[in-house]
Structure 1
Amino acid sequence: MLPTQCTGAARRPFELAATALAALAFLAGGEARASFTENIGVDPTAMSLGNAVTADPPGTASIHFNPAGLSRLQGKWKSDTFFGASIKPYASFTQPEGFDIGGWKDDPVAGTSTGPVRQSIFLPGIGVPKAKLPFAAAAGLGFSFNQPGSPWTFGTATYVVQGVGIDRTTDPNDPARFDGQRVNIQRLVLASPSVAYKVSKTLSVGVSIPIAHQGFALDTDMRMPNKLLGIIGKLQDAWCGDNGNPVDTFAFGLCGGGKEGRLRPFNKIGGMHFEMTAPADPTINIGVLWEPSDRFSLGAVYQGGSQSVLTGKYTFNAEPMLDRFVRGMYSSLLGPVVASMFGFPTSIPAIQSGNVTMTLPYAEHIQVGLKVKPIDRVQLNVDANWSNWKRWDKLTFQFDKTINLLEMARVFGQADPSKLIIPRGYKNTINYNFGLQVKVTDAITLRAGYEPRKSSVGENKIDLISPLPDLTIKSIGLGYETREGLRIDAAASYASGKFDIPADGSCNLNCTNFFNAVYNPYAGLDVAGGIRIRYFGVTITKPF
């Protein structure tokens, strides 16, 4: 029970807490889509509290979660952090009753499941190593500087704010090879000059400027199970027979490519590889922290977004099927007329490579939170946050030349073969997080966190490049502090989610509409799957 003389003073903070909790519950209760990849593994203490730390930002990690929290660090501090993560997406493919893609009724992918998944990382200045890793590792470093008695605190840190590295190359026949054989999206903050100012005993404000290296890599095989390809393939089989058709030379050239030039909707048509970076992409974090007492605090942070312009290299590989097909058409009498109407190239080289540019939006993020201590050794944290993932409406790759393989996609709406447009259609997000902290002794603290994340990738937009359904994240953590000021914080988290997308359920995955050829590699199939993410981290903080 609180001492009698504190009851009146404590009542106001707890009334404010109740009001704030109600507001956060209202925000969380609305229809929303929550996080994409933000705050998966930035700081172990934050992880263990479900990332509900805006009102109680941990150490030098305040630079990310709420720069105003730096004002609580007296003297000079250094933090070393290590992270490890294992990301395991999985999927299975089923052919529903009545399956038909332009007369083709048996997809060889049907009845299969994805295979083993390894991790990969993007190294600044190097790119994506070919090594297959059992888990992805990362390290962070943070510093803070404060002169005793000064209201100013300065800091900087290195940390990962976005990290996805999926490698499905172990099994060359993995059915997921058609939708992201290897995928890397990584944002590494290289430096983050920061300052916090203590306005009064209870109020602090802060600003940080994270300067990040943004990396993006995609390596995938391609196929286009489209009705038009299926119909033309059946027409070729009927018109050409087993030995061709001599009349075809005076017609449209459907037989001119031989058997290799016969269109098959389920065949691999080629592959593409991208590797791009934005070496130094700055954003801004602005935070405020109000701590009227040790039992109650409120915090808010704005994390700015950016339009990251990435540049790098691309390679397109083309299988013989489409090249033989267009060469056959152009070798006939009437074929060139039809081919030019559709904008088909006269040939498709086996390899095309060059330079590519892409604008990759980084979503702005707003988070508000509160901390409440109902009793001395027990602390509850609740946060609500919003992220602007609607900016990922589509990804546009601009190449330095016309890509012959993409000229074949003009009929499906890809009007400019020097560009590749991949629809995304993600949603703006609202999310809420919960954390519990119990100080067992003066040296030992136990923590637990819970995050029910509704995905910003709606089920009608999900695919195997971004296999992120609704996630439930559960975390535990342990903190140990010595009398000399050394602190060790450790955390482990487990995230899991499932999806079940019937045929035509996601037009980034399995739609059969004529103009959804780019890109629906599993058109007409039912796709069920999910993802499991295990990650852990340790931070050692000490004065220097």
Structure 2
Amino acid sequence: MKRKLLTFLGCALLSGMVQAGGFQVNLQGQKQIGMGHAGTGLALDEASVFFNPGAMSHLRQNGFQLGASGIISKIAYLETAPGNTTAKSDNPTGTPFSAYGVFGKEESSLKFGLGVYTPFGSKVKWGDEWIGRYGLNELELSAIFIQPTVSYKIGDKVGIGAGVVYSRGGVNLQRSIPVQDQDANDGHAELDGSASGWGYNAGIYFKPNDKFSVGLTYRSKVNMEVDEGDATFQVASSLASRFPNTTFTTELPLPANITLGIGFTPTEALTIAADVQRVNWSAYKNLRFEYGAAINGSTFTENARNYEDVYIYRLGAQYKITDAFALRAGGYYDNTPVQDGYLTPETPDANAIGISGGLGYAVSDNFQIDASFLYISKEERTDLSDLSGGIGGTYKTNVNIPGLAVSYKF
């Protein structure tokens, strides 16, 4: 029982924070979302701060952009044995956002930019009645990246750029503990902490002619350090000495991304984009958590994750019906980094297909509105092994994501 309780505690915290990186939130620009989130090989707008700092120097005007999306997700669970118990998550709506600014002197080859965006985060709520309550009741986590950026245009065809990233985030995870009081009520654990880390984003953009462009970017790994997080427990008084309220520390790597993008403009009205993105999830091998006091007899937990590096393939297009009105469509295929045996209710991940659409309308020469909608369907996945303290069974996830952005150019 002692080992089982420690496994529950360690895996709950580990999986929750891994979802902040494992569930990578690819919603950094409304135009790009409408095109399958492809944009590394294009100089579309201020979101180039994120997609390719090298393309920033090829933007014709200075400008600001503010956008947000609403993540409406549902996860269904089926216990395959012995009781065929079912459950559905009751997730609150997630609201990732992005804000960008790009500016430089007229006709200058040098541009400066600033991006504030949320590339990692999740909200999951299963409640305290379902069969997997010892793995998770609910989880809320976020990571906000702040990225000052500089870009330089070399001649008319090449742009290079780079930015420093400071990340700030937080996690709140709650779960039931498999120990009961005199009224047969489960114990309860809450883990709450903040994290921070540093990284960088760099890119190069090449446009040899009016019809073709290519971009390559690298977003570095960010080690998020959780220092002095709070671990609090509610258990029967007879067990209080085994579950003291204490602190925890750990270091959690958010993976590096390498993306190659191509842009093709066969006519003035049509733009086609394709990206191939490699996500270096193999950074997640083992994570160790140190506690300020012994929890059920141990001052640390350590668990294997063994995530795999994966690729995401993206394709999208934009068609300008008029100078003011544009339609967009796209899609992508995202491979899961979670191997068999490591599926958990915090990250019930599977290979996913994303289908998107969008539109843009220029209200004036300076002001524009862009909207997008993304539907994500993850494959149904059954995992009955228990290498990571997960809840064996079958999971199916569907996500609807509407989004809106406004931009002003000057």
TM-score by length of structure 2 reads: 0.88
The one of 107, 131, 140 equivalent to 2:98 is 140
Cα distance in 1 for residues equivalent to 2:203 and 2:349: 29
Q: Which residue of 2 aligns with 1:503?
A: 384
Tell me the alpha carbon deviations over residues 251-283 of structure 1, each in whole angstroms, 9 at most, x when there is no partner.
Answer: xxxxxxxx989xxxxx9874432112124x221
Residues 180/471 of structure 1: CA separation in 2 closer, same or farther (3 Å cut): same
Q: Which amino acid aligns with 1:174?
A: W
**Residue 176 of structure 1, CA deviation:** 3.3
1:185 aligns with 2:141: yes
Q: Which residue of 2 aligns with 1:175?
A: 131
Cα distance in 2 for residues equivalent to 1:184 and 1:86: 14
Between Structure 1 and Structure 2, which shows a larger proportion of helix residues?
1
The one of 402, 408, 418 equivalent to 2:299 is 418
Cα distance in 1 for residues equivalent to 2:77 and 2:65: 39
Cα distance in 2 for residues equivalent to 1:288 and 1:84: 31
Match of 1:137, SS state, is coil
The one of 166, 169, 175 equivalent to 1:220 is 175
Q: Which residue of 2 aligns with 1:117?
A: 90
| Contact 2:94/2:122 (<8 A) preserved | no
1:274 aligns with 2:191: yes
**Residue 284 of structure 1, CA deviation:** 0.4
1:51 aligns with 2:37: yes
Match of 1:284, SS state, is strand
The one of 161, 167, 181 equivalent to 2:119 is 161
Q: What RMSD in Å do the two structures reach over aligned CA positions?
A: 2.4
Q: Which residue of 2 aligns with 1:362?
A: 254
Cα distance in 1 for residues equivalent to 2:205 and 2:321: 26
The one of 273, 278, 283 equivalent to 2:199 is 283
Task: State the identity %.
Answer: 21
The one of 48, 61, 68 equivalent to 1:82 is 68
**Residue 452 of structure 1, CA deviation:** 1.1
| Contact 1:318/1:350 (<8 A) preserved | no
Tell me the alpha carbon deviations over residues 75-102 of structure 1, each in whole angstroms, 9 at most, x when there is no partner.
Answer: 4311121221112222111215xxxxxx
**Residue 316 of structure 1, CA deviation:** 3.4
Counterparts of residues 349-388 of structure 1 (less than 5 Å): 349=241, 351-388=243-280
Match of 1:70, SS state, is helix
Q: Which residue of 1 aligns with 2:17?
A: none
Counterparts of residues 275-314 of structure 1 (less than 5 Å): 275-279=192-196, 281-311=197-227, 312-314=229-231
1:484 aligns with 2:400: no
| Contact 2:43/2:58 (<8 A) preserved | no
Cα distance in 1 for residues equivalent to 2:328 and 2:217: 23
Q: Which residue of 2 aligns with 1:396?
A: 288
Cα distance in 1 for residues equivalent to 2:73 and 2:371: 20
Cα distance in 1 for residues equivalent to 2:401 and 2:55: 25
Unaligned runs of 5+ in 1: 1-34, 97-109, 120-134, 225-258, 262-266, 324-346, 408-416, 509-518
Q: Which residue of 1 aligns with 2:10?
A: none
Unaligned runs of 5+ in 2: 1-20
Residues 54/401 of structure 1: CA separation in 2 closer, same or farther (3 Å cut): same
Residues 502/541 of structure 1: CA separation in 2 closer, same or farther (3 Å cut): closer
Structure whose alpha-carbon radius of gyration is higher: 1
Match of 1:418, SS state, is strand
1:464 aligns with 2:345: yes
1:208 aligns with 2:163: yes
Between Structure 1 and Structure 2, which shows a larger proportion of strand residues?
2
Tell me the alpha carbon deviations over residues 192-213 of structure 1, each in whole angstroms, 9 at most, x when there is no partner.
Answer: 1111000110100011112221
| Contact 2:249/2:290 (<8 A) preserved | yes
**Residue 463 of structure 1, CA deviation:** 1.2
Cα distance in 2 for residues equivalent to 1:529 and 1:308: 28
Q: Which residue of 2 aligns with 1:543?
A: 409
Cα distance in 1 for residues equivalent to 2:181 and 2:207: 72
Match of 1:74, SS state, is coil
1:433 aligns with 2:314: yes
| Contact 2:54/2:159 (<8 A) preserved | yes
Cα distance in 2 for residues equivalent to 1:89 and 1:394: 26
**Residue 423 of structure 1, CA deviation:** 2.8
Match of 2:84, SS state, is coil
The one of 57, 70, 80 equivalent to 1:71 is 57
**Residue 498 of structure 1, CA deviation:** 3.1
Q: Which amino acid aligns with 2:190?
A: H
